[in-house]
Amino acid sequence: MFELLKTDATSKARLGRLHTPHGVVDTPVFMPVGTQASVKAIDPRELEEMGAQIILGNTYHLFIRPGLEILEQAGGLHRFMSWDKPILTDSGGFQVFSLASIRKIKAHGVEFRSHLDGSPLFLGPKEAMHIQRVLGSDIAMTFDECPPHDAPPRELRAAVDRTLRWALECREQPRAPGQQVFAIVQGGSVAHLREECAKKLVAMEFDGYAIGGVSVGEPEPEMMKAVEMTEPFLPAHKARYTMGLGTPAQMVELVARGVDMFDCVLPTRVARNGTAFTRRGTFSIKGGAYKADFRPIEEGCDCFACRRFTRAYIRHLLNVNEILGLRLVSVHNSHMYLRLMQEIRQHLQAGTFGEFRREFVANYVPTSRVLQARRQVEDER
């Protein structure tokens, strides 16, 4: 159940509370991505310490490894990975997009060739919901088709039709106790398709709604436009989730457009290359300019990495390929994302979000490395 607590006077931003079997989630919220039952380079204790309320897992990847038999024996995903807070599971629909070279779309689902050994597997609405029921996630996503951003109108039309048909089938499947199901709106950059898809999904009465088919290679203005096309047709009393987004400045702007929930692989993905997020943008710690820089990654940050270590030390670790280096940058980046959401909630509560938004976006300058990583179709979720 989603509880709308307050709306912003200067934008469509919302302060809310999402109730799940494993706890209450304050929104807007960022969900660290734990595709394969682990947020890369970060352990559950660290996630709890930095304020993570909910994490994301992936149906396709967990179905392949470790497999349903092991997960069922373990008592579900929460027990398997020792995480007692809420979990949202992606249905595998994103893999229909990201693994296009090894799949065939059929009327009732998608035939894949395993990206590991080439063995055949089938994933459709029934299969995706069954897997998520075994996983026992608090929020399960419907199985959808995510088309490329530059797909021709005919393909976008077909993807919307399949997404709607599959959503209805997902709606009819049994669930784990207390499990909520969110539907995913598709339609590319075509306004009438977005509107149609949203209205028909809302008529099916799901527990929440996601805006899918964004951050799949399109320019940022087009991404924002797709969200703006969809949001007016989503009910105010249900949670809204944009999938796979985004940079810190993008998330601030999307909160202002009425979005409540986010997930993104960027904090840990770019950390593995030594790129750190700060409130003013990103920089590569591996650069020579930081060889004798004994400041923390970000002045004023209270994450473990910034409290204890310097840029010079972390740069050294990264350049000699010590695992601790990428772990520390991953900790800082994830903490920065979660802290940003906490600040947004505080400003929404205080009625000062408009001022915060203007100042944050004006001072934030992303680097080309991060924008390239966002556009990269690397299947991490």
Active site residues: 90, 263
Q: 């579900």: which residue's tokens?
A: 76
| SS3 of residue 90 by DSSP | strand
Token couple for 265: 């692989």
Please return the burial class of 222, using the count of CB atoms within 10 Å of its CB with bins 0-12, 13-18 and 19+.
Answer: middle
Dihedral, 344, 348, 350, 353 alpha carbons, nearest 10? 70
CA distance 104 to 279: 42
Token couple for 73: 């024996």
Instruction: Report phi then psi at 103, rounded to 5.
Output: -140, 160
Let me know: does 161 contact 225? Beta carbons within 8 Å: no
Let me know: does 380 contact 33? Beta carbons within 8 Å: yes
